Amino acid sequence: MLENKVGMIFGVANQRSIAWACAQACGQQGAKLAFTYQGERLKENVEKLTKDMPEAVIVPCDVTNQAEVDAAFESVDKQFGRLDFLIHSIAFAPKEALEGEFLTTTRDAFLTALEISAFSLTQLSLAAVPLMKDGGSIVTMSYYGAEKVVQNYNVMGVAKAALEASTRYLAEDLGKQNIRVNAISAGPINTLSARGVKNMGAMLKHIAEKTPLRRNVEAREVGNTALFLVSDLSSAITGETIHVDCGFNIIGI
């Protein structure tokens, strides 16, 4: 399905990362992939995970460092000369902002969360456009806390709301170039980042009882949806936020 397509994947920290599930789904369909990692400590993880992908490009990219972002896209240009899809699966907020009341969010925590978790989608899209010569697809990861109040999610919910709005504005700007931009609103999954949210265990248990499917979503299922969104099967879908949450968002009382 993705033979001859080149994708760039941001946000693999370890084998539990949603980004890694996306990489596996796209890799199995023949995509050539470039991975970015944040900081030297994650380089080894990404190298180990991708050892069976000989063509994979692995480059450092902290989105708060524009020189690293530019260099990452230059590496992809040098290696492949094109880009067909980009998966943005990164987010960060200081741990102390992910508990207690949203009211006490500091300016620093707010700016950091919004910069890394929301602005980076626009930043990376701008860098990707020149390489998306035959159109393309950009996918980002959101969460229900963008729409409704979720205890402890706080500033990250505000960042995800900005991320989903950015998805729509980018979809309008880039549609002329046949570049689609969509978000996946994933149900909670026990990853490294998720552990930063207080009471994650209790939330997973509650959700498993309440969803129409009576279970939590698996990273693999989010990866498969990303595969759909970067493939031509979704060629008329742009600006959407698709829930991959076992139906949790449709439940009222």
Of 33 and 63, nearer to ligand NDP (C-beta) is: 63
26: nearest Cα among 235, 226, 220, 181: 226
How many Cα atoms are found within 13 Å in the side-chain-facing hemisphere of 108? Answer: 3
Of 115 and 173, nearer to ligand NDP (C-beta) is: 115
Check binding of 189 to ligand NDP (CB under 6 A).
yes
Read off the amino acid at residue 75: S
Instruction: Locate 95 and state its tokens.
Output: 């741990």
**Is residue 103 a contact partner of residue 126, using CB atoms and an 8 Å limit?**
no
Q: Which of 6, 9, 13, 87 binds ligand NDP (CB under 6 A)?
A: 13
CB atoms within 10 A of CB 39: 10
Residues annotated as catalytic (active site), given as ranges: 143, 153
Check binding of 201 to ligand NDP (CB under 6 A).
no
Of 4 and 60, nearer to ligand NDP (C-beta) is: 60
Residue 93-132 contact track with ligand NDP, rule CB under 6 A, x = bound: -----------------------x----------------
Task: Please give the helix or strand (H or E) that residue 166 lies within, else none.
Answer: helix 154-174
CB atoms within 10 A of CB 111: 12
Q: Which of 34, 58, 76, 91 binds ligand NDP (CB under 6 A)?
A: 91
Q: Tokens 């950091």 map to which residue?
A: 112
Residues binding ligand NDP (CB under 6 A): 11-13, 17-19, 38-39, 42, 61-64, 89-92, 116, 141-143, 186, 188-189, 191-194
